[in-house]
Structure 1
């Protein structure tokens, strides 16, 4: 299939360079319902769509992924579909890109490097755009499915120095993106002071923030603190109108940045 090999990378770099803000809609394959598909009917112009669609989940086996990717792309060809894999089995050559994650907040070798080694050849041969990402789990101490699956504990929002050191280690190791994630369904999101601290130190490296973002206030706080891209998923599952609200806010915010 024909792909722009650097489309997602260019998008993320432009956010970081121009201080524009992006939104990724995370779809969990295990939670796709008829309500999920209704969102696509509202994607009638570029201002009404997310910048990226992420697809993946902590416990998903990967069964039927190709069909799901194809269905999503048929419904929304204009938005790049990025795999956000919970394991090496969540892989499809039909996607546009893949977050090549290393869980650097934990010390479980399976998710630091082993899963990546086992998936590397298939990904390399696929032609997918690869996004090397330092993945850091951060919240207020909640243990969620991602922590159970990875057998790691999150760094705490109070552990500022450790979070900063971890993010910088990822950057120095050559990871081109940093993703701070509170975990799907988290009650609390990544603290704004953590986002601000990390962004100041990683500079032009695009910063993604996800987990627990279920209100416009949290979106605003994340963007104001320095997030280049916010990832929303569980909030949309709980409130179908939330996606439209966030996209409208993104449009307003980016327009105000242009004016100023």
Structure 2
């Protein structure tokens, strides 16, 4: 049902609760027995969202992954995190309609959006207009190279704030701050905090979150949703540890 993901995201921001998204890159994910067990485990722990996508998608596994997950749990919102118009499937529940507002590549600001718009109009996907902000994570990542954009320096929170404000004035309803897959360092708390205070919208944060302490810091700074991708690929127990922490955190918020 359209509007479900929007309601969940905006409720998080309004109620102060926190959520976790598992980012699955179809090029790096083998749909074997271990993957089935991973999906069952994160479903049991109540994963909030699953993002599907990446900077490079050379395989045809996206729809296969969607079908596998839906066979296990139909309630987990499956959201496309597309790197290009080729990464589209109307089997998903929603799509992060990303505008790379921190860059100056017109193709990723509006160009590819025009190409995919007719497909989205015919689909049942929830379209989530999202300002995508790349931040330097201490390492050149695939998204930097593919997007041909320079990330915002991580010691310049004022640039991130101005960028987020511009996106807000343009009418974008969600914001995703990303240090990129495999980033050495996460986005600084000060930058997250200042961006969150400048916008009236749900804030998603990802990249460089390798330890639970990184996740705690991102939440404390103002993130509504954290995205675990590379860390889960290497060690799924890290994702389950994060989910257990968030479950306890949200329970404490209910009690208070």
Cα pair distance change 1:116/1:62, threshold 3 Å = farther
Aligned to 1:158: 155
2:122 pairs with 1:116: no
Work out whether residues 26 and 231 of structure 1, in 8 Å CA contact, stay in contact via their aligned partners in 2. yes
CA distance in 2, matches of 1:26, 1:149: 18
2:217 pairs with 1:231: no
Aligned to 2:245: 249
Work out whether residues 137 and 180 of structure 2, in 8 Å CA contact, stay in contact via their aligned partners in 1. no
CA distance in 1, matches of 2:61, 2:139: 30
Work out whether residues 179 and 209 of structure 1, in 8 Å CA contact, stay in contact via their aligned partners in 2. yes
CA distance in 2, matches of 1:30, 1:37: 16
Q: Secondary structure of the residue that 2:17 maps to in structure 1?
A: coil
Equivalent pairs, count: 254
Work out whether residues 62 and 89 of structure 1, in 8 Å CA contact, stay in contact via their aligned partners in 2. no
Match of 1:144 among 141, 144, 150: 141
Per the TM alignment, residue 142 of structure 1 is displaced from its structure 2 partner at its CA by 2.2
Correspondences of 1:73-84 after superposition (within 5 Å): 73-84=70-81
Per the TM alignment, residue 66 of structure 1 is displaced from its structure 2 partner at its CA by 2.2
Cα pair distance change 1:43/1:159, threshold 3 Å = closer
Correspondences of 1:94-105 after superposition (within 5 Å): 94-105=91-102
Cα pair distance change 1:9/1:136, threshold 3 Å = same
Work out whether residues 12 and 224 of structure 2, in 8 Å CA contact, stay in contact via their aligned partners in 1. yes
Name the Cα RMSD after superposition. 1.3
Q: Secondary structure of the residue that 2:84 maps to in structure 1?
A: coil
Cα pair distance change 1:254/1:89, threshold 3 Å = same
Match of 1:221 among 212, 217, 223: 217
CA distance in 1, matches of 2:139, 2:85: 25
In structure 2, runs of 5+ residues without a counterpart are none
Aligned to 1:240: 236
CA distance in 1, matches of 2:241, 2:199: 29
Work out whether residues 138 and 185 of structure 2, in 8 Å CA contact, stay in contact via their aligned partners in 1. no
Q: Secondary structure of the residue that 1:179 maps to in structure 2?
A: strand
2:129 pairs with 1:132: yes
Q: Please report the TM-score for the alignment, with normalisation by the length of structure 2.
A: 0.96
Q: Which runs of 4+ in 1 moved over 4 A?
A: none
Q: Secondary structure of the residue that 2:27 maps to in structure 1?
A: helix
